[in-house]
A and B are shown apart, each in its own frame.
Chain A
Amino acid sequence: MSENSTEMRATESAEQSRWSMVGKDPWTMPIEKIDLSHPGIWHTNEFLPFLERLRKEDPVHFCAESAVGPYWSVTKYSDIMEVDTSPHIYSSEPTVGIIDSYEEYTLPMFIAMDPPKHDDQRRIAQPVVAPANLKRLESIIRERVCNILDGLPVNEEFDWVKHVSIELTTQMLATLFDFPFEDRYKLTFWSDAATAIPGAGVVNSNEERWAAMEECLQVFTGLWNERVNAEPGSDLVSMLAHGEATRNMPPMEYLGNIILLIVGGNDTTRNSISGGVLALNENPAEYDKLRANHGIIPNMVSEIIRWQTPLAYMRRTALVDAELGGKQIKAGDKVVMWYASGNRDEEAIDRANEFLIDREKARQHLSFGFGLHRCMGNRLAEMQLRILWEEIMQRFHKVEVVGEPERVYSSFVKGYTHLPVRLHPLN
């Protein structure tokens, strides 16, 4: 480990303890000091009561000081909907992350664009994950799922994250991009590098992150060059290379959209795969319901995605002064929609803090967002989860969690780095 990264870690620790909310009492601390942006309480799984207090006492909450500067936290379902469906007030530019990155490190991608440019680019990429195309992918997905599940050790402990969640989503990404299968782990690495906090285990610095992004661009430029002169294919690279609005895009924009599509399909699906196993273990009556009726699986998939909320927030920037929840937002203010909070808002969702695989209106959750930017991979994610659980139920009486899960050190990516499990086959 280099001198630099050791220094960086030491600095990180100091930063961590200065801004961290870990150990603070969510109900008695001064409410104006609540800062959801710091990864600490997300990593230790202590975030829920902080969200609850804000929903109750200050639903549109201004945090004046944080490691990412001042910002508004929006925690109720209805206010989040208002922000998400008002792109003319709350812009997705220049970034949907809470950190205001320096310009040279900001990749242009359509998740962080407003109309009309957003619409032009999304329209090109969207067909690759349209349901008609997904129908064709279903059999490959099922084949891959069966292959993975049949290769797992039975009655002994292993890490579900590594052997199932990451493995399955990585294979899916390689398929979508028609990426060399044996190199598929690069997709996972690039995706993790794009979103990770330096020092948290993926990259040690922004420079390292950038080096990874450059490698990604190099490889994908190679694929572009291969496919631009060939017949248009149904993979994402081919679609971008042939699409009217995207075939002349500058390299940084191409990289941005590639990263967007890799990230979109990477840790979100991964963490829902892990999250579903954990949720069923923590709610054994629900696992019983599932065993008794496999037909509940599609509904359960939506509930898992709500419960896990794989991306805790999305950020917007106010273009004009606006009123929200009785507060005055100023033009230029950073506004953060905490999906992880809205999804537990009992005023919008019945018994929101219960994991109920047969709940009605299970699809009415915030995890995919709403409005123009609503996750375009949502049906693909649901399909992967549905097929996975269909095949799990054909093989195992229980996927048992046998140790403490480890969570991602991030207030954005809400997921698991390790989940120790043991498989119990059907009798």
Chain B
Amino acid sequence: MLAALTNGVPGIDADCGGACSCATCHVYVQEDWLDKVGDISPTEEAMLSLSTDRQDNSRLSCQIEITDELDGLVVTTPEFQF
């Protein structure tokens, strides 16, 4: 999430600033990366479950910690952030 914000990438709103509290940093993780981005916490799951555009590969990008292993990670953004 922070990477998008600080580099002016549009489509991620991050209203709560990364606190897993607003679900406006919603992204779709490309299938082959899905098991590499970490587990979904109950809090993240609760927020995601209310999203109308939720898919199997949905994540809140503020909960994905970027490491060197994620170099090359591809995500797409939903048409809208709620």
A residues whose Cβ falls under 8 Å from a Cβ of B: 81, 84-85, 115, 119, 122-123, 126-127, 130-132, 361, 363-364, 368, 370-372, 374, 376, 379
Distance from B16 Cβ to chain A, minimum over Cβ atoms (Å): 5
Q: Which of B16, B24, B46 contacts A115 (CB 8 A)?
A: B46
How far is A115 from B79 in the complex, measured between Cα atoms in Å? 28
> What chain B residues lie within 8 Å of A126 (beta carbons)?
50, 52
Per the 8 Å Cβ criterion, residues 11-47 of B in contact with A are 13-17, 19-24, 43, 46-47
Q: Which of B14, B21, B79 contacts A371 (CB 8 A)?
A: B21
Listed by A's residue number, 12 A-B pairs whose Cβ atoms lie within 8 Å are: A81-B21, A115-B46, A122-B50, A130-B80, A132-B52, A132-B80, A363-B13, A363-B24, A364-B16, A364-B17, A370-B21, A370-B22
> What chain A residues lie within 8 Å of B50 (beta carbons)?
119, 122-123, 126, 372
Asked whether A119 lies within 8 Å of B15 as measured between CB atoms, the reply is no
Interface residue B49 (Cβ < 8 Å from any Cβ of A): yes
How far is A202 from B82 in the complex, measured between Cα atoms in Å? 34
Asked whether B79 lies within 8 Å of A85 as measured between CB atoms, the reply is no
> What chain B residues lie within 8 Å of A361 (beta carbons)?
17
Asked whether A131 lies within 8 Å of B80 as measured between CB atoms, the reply is yes
Instruction: Specify the chain B residue showing the minimal Cβ separation from A127.
Output: B52
Distance from B52 Cβ to chain A, minimum over Cβ atoms (Å): 4
Contact with A along B42-82 (1 / 0, CB 8 A): 01001101101100000000000000000000000001111
How far is A258 from B12 in the complex, measured between Cα atoms in Å? 31
Given contacts A84-B21, A132-B79, A364 and B46 within 8 Å (CB-CB): no
Bin chain B's interface residue count: 20 to 34
How far is A85 from B43 in the complex, measured between Cα atoms in Å? 9
Q: Which of B13, B21, B53 has the most CB of A within 10 A?
A: B21
Distance from A381 Cβ to chain B, minimum over Cβ atoms (Å): 13
Asked whether B52 lies within 8 Å of A85 as measured between CB atoms, the reply is no
Q: Which of B14, B50, B79, B81 has the most CB of A within 10 A?
A: B50
Distance from A60 Cβ to chain B, minimum over Cβ atoms (Å): 19
Distance from B23 Cβ to chain A, minimum over Cβ atoms (Å): 8
> What chain A residues lie within 8 Å of B46 (beta carbons)?
115, 119, 372
Distance from A242 Cβ to chain B, minimum over Cβ atoms (Å): 16
Given contacts A363-B15, A364-B17, A372-B47, A130 and B52 within 8 Å (CB-CB): yes
> What chain B residues lie within 8 Å of A132 (beta carbons)?
52, 79-80
How far is A115 from B6 in the complex, measured between Cα atoms in Å? 34
Q: Which of A119, A130, A363 contacts B82 (CB 8 A)?
A: A130
Please name the 10 residue pairs, one residue from A and one from B, whose CB atoms are nearest each other, closest first: A131-B80, A370-B21, A130-B52, A363-B15, A371-B21, A85-B21, A370-B16, A364-B17, A127-B52, A374-B22
How far is A374 from B8 in the complex, measured between Cα atoms in Å? 25
Distance from A6 Cβ to chain B, minimum over Cβ atoms (Å): 48
Distance from B48 Cβ to chain A, minimum over Cβ atoms (Å): 11
How far is A379 from B52 in the complex, measured between Cα atoms in Å? 14
How far is A153 from B22 in the complex, measured between Cα atoms in Å? 41
> What chain B residues lie within 8 Å of A376 (beta carbons)?
82
> What chain A residues lie within 8 Å of B16 (beta carbons)?
81, 364, 370
How far is A74 from B80 in the complex, measured between Cα atoms in Å? 33
> What chain A residues lie within 8 Å of B15 (beta carbons)?
363-364, 368, 370
Q: Which of B13, B15, B53 has the most CB of A within 10 A?
A: B15
How far is A115 from B19 in the complex, measured between Cα atoms in Å? 19
Question: 6 additional contacts, CB 8 Å, given A81-B16, A363-B15, A370-B15?
Answer: A127-B52, A130-B52, A364-B15, A364-B16, A368-B15, A374-B23
Distance from A366 Cβ to chain B, minimum over Cβ atoms (Å): 10
Q: Which of A119, A123, A370 contacts B19 (CB 8 A)?
A: A370
